[in-house]
Amino acid sequence: MKIAFVGKGGSGKTTLSALFIRHLAAAGRPVLAVDADINQHLGPALGLTDAQAAALPSLGAHLPVIKEYLRGDNPLIRSAEEMIKTTPPGPGSRLLRIVEENPVYAACARPVALDEGSVRLMATGAFTEEDLGVACYHSKVGAVELLLNHLVDGPDEYLVTDMTAGSDSFASGLFTRFDLTLLVAEPTRKGVSVYRQYKEYAQDFDVHLRVVGNKVQGPDDLDFLRREVGEDLYACFGQSGWVRRLERGDEPPLRELEPPNREVLARLQTAADTAHGLRDPHRYSAQAARFHLRNAESWGNAKVGTDLAGQVDPDYVLGAERAGTAGV
Ligand SMILES: Nc1ncnc2c1ncn2[C@@H]1O[C@H](COP(=O)(O)OP(=O)(O)O)[C@@H](O)[C@H]1O
Ligand SMILES: [Mg+2]
């Protein structure tokens, strides 16, 4: 399952991503956690010290290693330099699995021990002022897009990404690479307006979008979200004393999280599992190709100096090469 948490800054993306990751790890599920937000806070939210979080390798800085590995001996991609963020896998490409050792994880991922279980964490790296609004910004999230396009995940394995909902995320195809996108919304006008914008943008791409209310304090908050979001509202996480304790520097164990909020985490897992069952690998790969062609035309061909449309194998379907699932 590939899951993204998106939403307005401050809505609680990092908090809910981290809690969901902890919930999955406590249930014994393999998890690859990815911090792709402009504000890199997922590491500390998973219990890393600031120094440990600062020492995380950045995906953005390891793009050459990532590209060289993923390219494998795919004859359609002649060199790592010809690989852009949207270059799709094809025959000969190396794919990533959630549970394995590979040079990409060795370079970019770090294990994080939790109070129950442990996960692997990758981070795009901090966004600097000059990254924003220019092509480089996208090379950081671009690394995540490449990884997702090459990641084959099984039904009980999870990739969880903490991401921004800013319009920048729509400049690439990244927002279409998830089985489930959870938009975190506070019960405020601003919270739901971000949802509307996201929905409007995502609807042409079959993005499976669900809203998770956060910091919901009572029936008025709930009514507001129900009214504004309608059937896309999937669950509501309450204002949490447990989260407050965390913020005060305590390290409360997951099992002490308020039972209704734990229940929300369990429901999110159900939503993710359901979404995985609905995944259409053909559509997934076709969309990857479509974004690649679009990026190739708008900037990639000019940058690389060759026609990158030739990198697409129209018959290639990610996941179809796994034993027993060919043609799924
Ligand atoms: N359910 C909650 N109950 C109490 N505080 C919360 C809750 N969710 C988030 N917060 C607090 O709100 C602030 C913003 O949350 P954060 O997860 O950092 O948002 P984002 O990642 O969307 O910017 C943090 O101080 C966090 O501790
Ligand atoms: Mg955050």
pLDDT of residue 39: 86
- What pTM did the predictor assign? 0.94
Q: What is the pLDDT of residues 239-298, one digit of tens each?
A: 999 999 999 999 999 999 999 999 999 999 999 999 988 889 999 999 999 999 999 999
Q: What is the pLDDT of residues 145-190, one digit of tens each?
A: 999 999 999 989 999 999 987 666 677 789 999 999 999 999 999 9
Contact 269, 28 (CB under 8 A): no
Residue 218 vs residues 190, 214, 236, 237, 249: alpha-carbon distances, Å: 18, 11, 10, 11, 26
pLDDT of residue 130: 55
Q: 243 is written with which tokens?
A: 């989260």
pLDDT of residue 112: 98
Phi, psi of 85, rounded to the nearest 5 degrees = -60, -25
Could you tell me if the CB of 244 is within 6 A of ligand 1?
yes
Q: 8 is written with which tokens?
A: 């307005």
- Closest ligand to 39 CA? 2
pLDDT of residue 323: 43
Could you tell me if the CB of 9 is within 6 A of ligand 1?
yes
Q: Looking at the DSSP assignment, which residues form a beta bridge with residue 96?
A: 151
- Closest ligand to 213 CA? 1
CA 122 to chain centre: 11
Q: With helix as H, strand as E and coil as C, how does the chain read?
A: CEEEEEECCCCCHHHHHHHHHHHHHHCCCCEEEEEECCCCCHHHHCCCCHHHHHCCCEHHHHHHHHHHHHHCCCCCCCCHHHCCCCCCCCCCCCCEECCCCCHHHHHHCEEEECCCCEEEEEECCCCCHHHCCCHHHHHHHHHHHHHHHCEECCCCCEEEEEECCCHHHHCCCHHHCCCEEEEEECCCHHHHHHHHHHHHHHHHHCCCEEEEEEEECCHHHHHHHHHHHHHHEEEEEECCHHHHHHHCCCCCCHHHCCHHHHHHHHHHHHHHHHHHHHCCHHHHHHHHHHHHHHHHHHHHHHHHCCCHHHHCCCCCCCCCCCCCCCCC
Could you tell me if the CB of 247 is within 6 A of ligand 1?
yes
Q: What's the gap in Å between 292 CA and the centre of ligand 2?
A: 28
Q: What's the gap in Å between 268 CA and the centre of ligand 1?
A: 17
Angstrom distance (rounded) from CA 70 to CA 64: 10
Q: What is the pLDDT of residues 301-326, one digit of tens each?
A: 999 999 999 999 999 999 886 544 44
Contact 237, 216 (CB under 8 A): yes
Closest to 56 (Cα-Cα) out of 98, 102, 110: 110
CATH 1.20.140.10 assigned to 2-308:
no
Burial class (CB in 10 A: 0-12, 13-18, 19+), 320: middle
Could you tell me if the CB of 261 is within 6 A of ligand 1?
no
Ligand 1, atom 17, lies closest to the CA of: 12
Q: 109 is written with which tokens?
A: 């991922």
Ligand 1, atom 14, lies closest to the CA of: 10
Could you tell me if the CB of 214 is within 6 A of ligand 1?
yes
Could you tell me if the CB of 241 is within 6 A of ligand 1?
no
Ligand 1 atom with least separation from CA of 247? 27
Could you tell me if the CB of 10 is within 6 A of ligand 1?
yes
Q: What's the gap in Å between 50 CA and the centre of ligand 2?
A: 15
Q: What's the gap in Å between 280 CA and the centre of ligand 1?
A: 33
% of the chain surpassing 90 pLDDT: 83
- Closest ligand to 38 CA? 2
Residues comprising the chain, all counted: 328
Could you tell me if the CB of 187 is within 6 A of ligand 1?
no
Q: What's the gap in Å between 50 CA and the centre of ligand 1?
A: 18
Q: What's the gap in Å between 92 CA and the centre of ligand 2?
A: 37
One-letter amino acid for residue 181 of the chain: T
The count of other CB atoms within 10 Å of the CB of residue 226 is: 14
Tell the residue number behind the tokens 């729509």, with chain if given: 170
Ligand 1, atom 13, lies closest to the CA of: 10
Residue-range domain boundaries for the chain: 2-308
